[in-house]
Amino acid sequence: KGKEEKEEVGPRDFKFLTMLGAGDVGKVYLARKRGTKDLFAVKILQKKEMVQRKKVKRVLVEREILSIVDHPFIVSLHWSFQSLSQVYYVMEFCAGGGFYRMLSKLPERRLLEDPARFYSAEVLLALEYLHMQGFIYRDLKPENILIHHTGHIKLADFDLSKTSNTPVHSRLTDQVFVAKPTLITNSFVGTAEYIAPEIITGFGHTSTVDWWTFGILLYEMLFGFTPFASSTQSGLFENVLHQEVEFPERIPISKNCRDFIRKLLKPDPKKRLGAVDGAPD
């Protein structure tokens, strides 16, 4: 059970209040544990749909990751159990809702540089922790970030993540944990506007793919749209592979911020910021 709570629970221990969201193989509900005032987000996955859509491995990987990780900026798994037809994940409820929803309510869907720095710093710490544990997140985007009631962020949705049998190589340098990118995978995953060049070309990718998506996320936070958008997927991929990142002049950001994004969005993963020493870069 890893870090999950040891108390034996099942579906009857929860009162389901309202649906929070839905995916292709299941739904997420707000639920209260009976006999308490404690609220949880309960993901209910249909086994039949998991098999039909070939999502069994993804669900098991998500369960493995959530049972291992313990980090202030990653959503916590409290219990997991199953019935004959369903799998249940009882997770931490984030009352602030989705980060995407928060952005969509802002003028021009964008943040000023200071709050963007705050949120991106927390995302960076969560990604580096995952890399230290041997995981590549691979699906960073506003839709997969939740807002805790304290105002801090929580990464969620790990079904596209990749795990290795052993942790990504890490070392201790001046009291800073460093996760180097060693695990290479070739599978094509992620959201189109966030996909890194090495995934498009199929040459295989390491944890540096997360630093590319981190750069796209920071850009979208600051400008309200992604840097390589196109009306077609082929046009988008062409832009990702060959177009230099551009910054709208009407939205002023600091030179340091522009340089930071440029270094994260290097098409060559070996030259990308984070390729050598991860987050400490």
Q: The tokens 């050598």 sit on which residue?
A: 276
Most confidently predicted of 37-46, 54-63, 205-214: 37-46
Of 279, 76, 269, the closest CA to residue 168 belongs to: 279
Look up the pTM and report it: 0.85
Q: Give the pLDDT confidence score for residue 162 in this predicted structure.
A: 59
**Per-residue pLDDT averaged across 182-204, rounded?**
71
Is pLDDT of 183 > 90?
Answer: no
Q: Of 1-15, 150-164, 176-190, 256-270, give the lowest mean pLDDT range.
A: 176-190
How far is Cα 65 from Cα 134, in angstroms, rounded to an integer? 10
How far apart are alpha carbons 227 and 265 in whole angstroms?
10
Q: Which residues are catalytic?
A: 139
Residue 154: pLDDT above 80?
yes
pLDDT, position 244: 95
62-71, 133-142, 189-198: which range is least confident on average?
Answer: 189-198
Mean pLDDT computed over 265-271: 94
Residue count of the chain, please give it.
281
pLDDT above 60 for 211:
yes
The confidence score (pLDDT) of residue 188 equals: 45
CA pair distance 184, 41, nearest whole angstrom: 33
Instruction: For residues 233 and 31, give the distance between their C-alpha atoms in angstroms, rounded to a whole number.
Output: 38
Taken in order of first residue, the domains within the chain and their CATH numbers are 11-92 (3.30.200.20), 99-264 (1.10.510.10)
The pLDDT of residue 2 is 42
